[in-house]
Chain A
């Protein structure tokens, strides 16, 4: 039994060593995984690098290293719950290396969800400790991020979310404000803590009730108002910090207001040149503090050695020196006696001592109802043209991985989502429109199975074709976007890159069409023209991301959250 345990530990170490670069290849100890919410990601990585540099050991002399895996808080809860479910059904064992030892989510709503869902699986076992039993690591209040002129108006109103229900321009909120159309960004509540806190805060605002007083019936009652706020969303996303940085990069035509962490404002302003206008944090009168705690499950999947290692890690994360890393990243410290540092000033758009009324989470059942309502009703609809390169170079593993990824994409389409799949090589085929209905999925299945790798890469022609098709089929009150997936350079397109760029501007964010572009370079660096793909995306409110057969599934799942 003991041998089996150590064998499992060894396997865990091998597994983690194979998928993480945090530990040296010849490391002989065991690995401890921290699966944390994305808001704590940068802090976790920096702190754990320092921790590992100390060559930590258990009291029994066994060495270990820690690894940090940031995910959206919703993903953290989903992945742990899925593993716990598999443990319960006997599909996996408690020593399965996929189980993280330490868990953190970016706020107490998702923490409550984790406790609730694990307790549903293992009633009375208290595998996930009570909220305040998990030591506080950092916190960062939810704020609205905006340029000063917009922020000024938002600060004047009693409740900004309530104002967003009806306002079309910022002058509707503040007559002295700019005549900008209200374009709003937040992360997806199904996967991100900030998105979920935002959704709950919106319900609290429109209902006039505190979150803990909201009922399932209230969710039904007020979801129409939530939909009105959501209709102003430019795009969603999984990472709050990325959204804040995108606001800075894309400017006020892309989004005028973002619902983000206070730390995201500091991070975004930290990247700006000194002469550029700073973004400001608007503190709502009531908001969530986003308490980020470190959870050590008292569960069979955490061994005694892992527990001992985890305690060392927790103590390290809470030392004043480590907490200083958090304050430098714009996170408020989780332990007393740590100075805030120079980032918590007006120069970074925030107040050192903001005043707000701190929200408490609603009940888990109400949270579930809100998420269901968002997915099926309140969320802004989307139409995304997915342009798939099926040229000859995609032959083999590449096309197979893309087919699997597209299948997952189609299977997880929500009721508000539509996609149009375009297969191109030398030839550009007609789009196949797919939605989340059984019929739509069947069409998607047929499209995917018909993909064949052959021919050349008429990339730019395919891009303009997709844009033109979308212009002709623009979905109203929806996010309209093009997503291009290619593994090669353009060969033989009729349109040049420059002409494509000029053409796409005509449907970009300075226009009413607001069509964004996202590009995925698939394969090895050099196979595709990274510079061209980046240019196409960034000029049109999107971004470029590299992928390969191993990462494409995760990458596309993240991209799907944008819409």
Chain B
């Protein structure tokens, strides 16, 4: 099979385009499957659908071949005639005669090219010559005839007659091209005869009359002009073919362009949905950013789902979601490492498209209702030992507090479902021994501590923002102190005044732990095209404008300090809030430490 450029075969391009459209838009195939298949189809079908030459006409081919041969023979003959002339016409008075022969030779030498041009033109046209072309030729020939005289005029009149016959043939639906070639053959034969006459005159006369040669040359000029008229504009024949090629090329490009547009551009009512599952701490900024993103990318719709960070892992691994997430954003990257390890243990494959990408970060803080915080932390600094003592005391009355405050209520999230609960227990345990390892976690003091916390906290929520929302909505009667993220504590701070008539106080844990919300694009049920949309979304989130939005919601940017963003919570004089941290910050704990914390929590009674 010969190799054909598919762009010269619009039908092949059309078939491939339909396939691409169906594959990507409706069958949700990966672009890495749909595109190669479409290319194979385009190249495979191109030879069959290429713009075909006009229906072959054997008589035309024969006539063209004969004309070609005659033109070549005549060209050779003209060369030998000129060589002979250069030997014969050596006297000084014969230079003009030699010039006439040279001129005649050049005209004859042009004939094979003109025949080839006509052949090309016929190949590029339909089986029938266009009547308009023939009429145009006739007009040209008649114009020449009217301005000519003598032999030339006779020649043009004959050619005009020949063209009128060809027009008639074309009008009758017959192939006028054969007649045109016949006319050309006649002209070649006439040219050969004239050249022969010129040669005879040279051979038989010692001193040929320049006038005689000039007359023969006039005949040759008339034949040559007739040939030009018959063949048409020298540039026309190849151009006609190029025009058709260009038309095919442009048609193919148009089809391919339309297919790409239909495949990738949004069709009204056919938005692509990207399901994002995030920890609840990002709920409010993501909901705000969703509006901006969908404005910029109307072809994409974000379906935001929020779960506790550990739930994100568990529900993904156990396939318990009633949606297919494309992007998951737990509160820290270690949770993604855990997910990856669990996924690989079950599937031996990579769960993510790309390396997980940090989005924004925050750290763990404590919040307390002010009058209770003052009793708990008299010097205004958070202390784990004071918290432990209060938990052991159970009631405020046993802890130098107001008896009417009732029981001492410490709230954290469920460590088996949420990141902040795990980190809280890790920091609490570390405060006992000064370091944190699986060994220190299994010290009696750490185990006792975890058991104490488990006995004290009541119905720990699945996620940190749910915890904070209820901390505010239910007020001091339900909870005295909570461990939450700095981001949401800052962002929701004013709500506590609205709902409870008083704001809570923020306390920085020392050391605290930094948690970086990290996004991964998952592979399960997500095709490349969706993954590409997900990359677009993640790139959007990490641009400086969006990072500023995160800062407005109390998050810290992934790189560097809190920038000077207008309306950021650090500009609202929130009691206890620090834009530049005075406490030591630890990186997130290793996955095995977090796993051990969960295990100890589940084991505690």
Contact = CB atoms under 8 A, between A and B. Distances in A.
Given A285-B404, A356-B406, A358-B406, A336 B459 contact: no
Interface in B461-495: 461-462, 466, 468-470, 472-478, 492, 494-495
A502 interface: no
A334 B477 contact: no
Given A336-B496, A337-B472, A352 B406 contact: no
A69 B501 CA distance: 34
Contacts of A336: 468-469, 472-473, 492, 495-496, 498-499
Given A337-B492, A340-B499, A289 B474 contact: yes
Contacts of B500: 353
A304 B477 contact: no
Nearest to A286: B406
Interface stretch (A131-139, A184-192, A363-371): A131-139
A409 to B, nearest CB: 39
A444 interface: no
Contact of B462 (A133, A141, A332, A335): A133
A97 interface: no
B462 A139 contact: no
Interface residues of A, number: 34
Given A333-B499, A360-B458, A132 B407 contact: no
Interface in A530-557: none
A210 interface: yes
Interface in A329-348: 332-340
A35 to B, nearest CB: 22
Contacts of B461: 132-133
Contact of B473 (A108, A136, A354): A136
B77 to A, nearest CB: 84
A172 to B, nearest CB: 25
B279 interface: no
A355 interface: yes
A179 B466 CA distance: 49
Contacts of A108: 459
Interface string A189-221: 000000000000000000000100000000000
Interface in A347-404: 352-358, 360
A338 B473 CA distance: 9
Contact of B501 (A130, A353, A356): A353
Contact of B459 (A131, A135, A337, A339): A131
B477 A358 contact: yes
A104 B126 CA distance: 80
Nearest to B472: A336
Contacts of B478: 289, 358
Given A285-B404, A285-B406, A336-B469, A356 B499 contact: no
Contact of A130 (B322, B409, B462): B462
Nearest to B500: A353
A131 B414 CA distance: 12
Given A130-B462, A132-B459, A210-B407, A339 B498 contact: yes
Contacts of A354: 477
A240 interface: no
Contacts of A135: 466
A338 B498 contact: yes
Contact of B474 (A286, A291, A307, A352): A291
Contacts of B405: 355, 357
B460 interface: yes
Nearest to B303: A59
A357 B459 contact: no
A209 B550 CA distance: 47
A551 B477 CA distance: 42
A335 B501 CA distance: 14
Contacts of B404: 285, 355, 357
Nearest to A354: B477
Interface in B341-358: none
Contacts of B472: 336-337
Contacts, number: 81
Contacts of A353: 475, 500-501
A507 B426 CA distance: 69
B63 to A, nearest CB: 69
Interface in B427-475: 458-462, 466, 468-470, 472-475
Contacts of A332: 473
Contacts of B459: 108, 130-132
Nearest to B402: A355
Given A338-B498, A358-B478, A132 B460 contact: yes
Interface in A304-319: 304, 307
Contacts of B407: 210, 357-358
Interface string B394-429: 000000000011110100000000000000000000
Contacts of A210: 407
A339 B407 CA distance: 26
B403 to A, nearest CB: 9
A337 B409 CA distance: 22
A136 B471 CA distance: 11
Which of A291, A304, A336 counts the most B-chain CB atoms under 10 A from its CB?
A336
Interface string B168-210: 0000000000000000000000000000000000000000000
B477 A357 contact: yes
Contact of A337 (B273, B322, B476, B499): B499
A536 to B, nearest CB: 44
Nearest to A131: B459
B469 to A, nearest CB: 5
Nearest to B492: A336
Nearest to A338: B499
A127 to B, nearest CB: 13
Contacts of A132: 459-462, 466, 470
A108 B458 CA distance: 12
Nearest to B499: A336
A184 to B, nearest CB: 24
Interface in A272-325: 285-286, 289, 291, 304, 307
Contacts of A334: 473
B406 A357 contact: yes
A135 B463 CA distance: 12
B473 A333 contact: yes
A139 B499 contact: no
Contacts of A340: 499
Interface in A108-162: 108, 130-133, 135-136, 139, 141
A161 B543 CA distance: 61
Contacts of B409: 358
A336 B493 CA distance: 10
Contacts of A358: 406-407, 409, 474, 477-478
A139 B474 contact: yes
Interface string A55-66: 000010000000
Contact of B322 (A286, A289, A304, A360): A304
B498 A337 contact: yes
A136 B494 contact: no
Contacts of B496: 336
Contacts of A338: 498-499
Nearest to B394: A210
Nearest to A339: B498
A337 B470 contact: no
Nearest to A135: B466
A136 B495 CA distance: 16
Contact of A335 (B303, B322, B469): B469
Contacts of B495: 336-337
Given A135-B466, A337-B495, A355-B476, 9 more contacts: A132-B460, A132-B461, A289-B477, A291-B474, A335-B473, A339-B499, A340-B499, A355-B477, A357-B405
20 contacts: A108-B459, A130-B462, A132-B459, A289-B474, A289-B477, A304-B322, A307-B322, A333-B473, A334-B473, A336-B469, A336-B472, A336-B473, A336-B495, A337-B498, A353-B475, A356-B406, A357-B406, A358-B409, A358-B474, A358-B477
Task: Give the 3 A-B residue pairs with the shortest CB-CB distance, closest first.
Answer: A357-B406, A337-B495, A336-B472
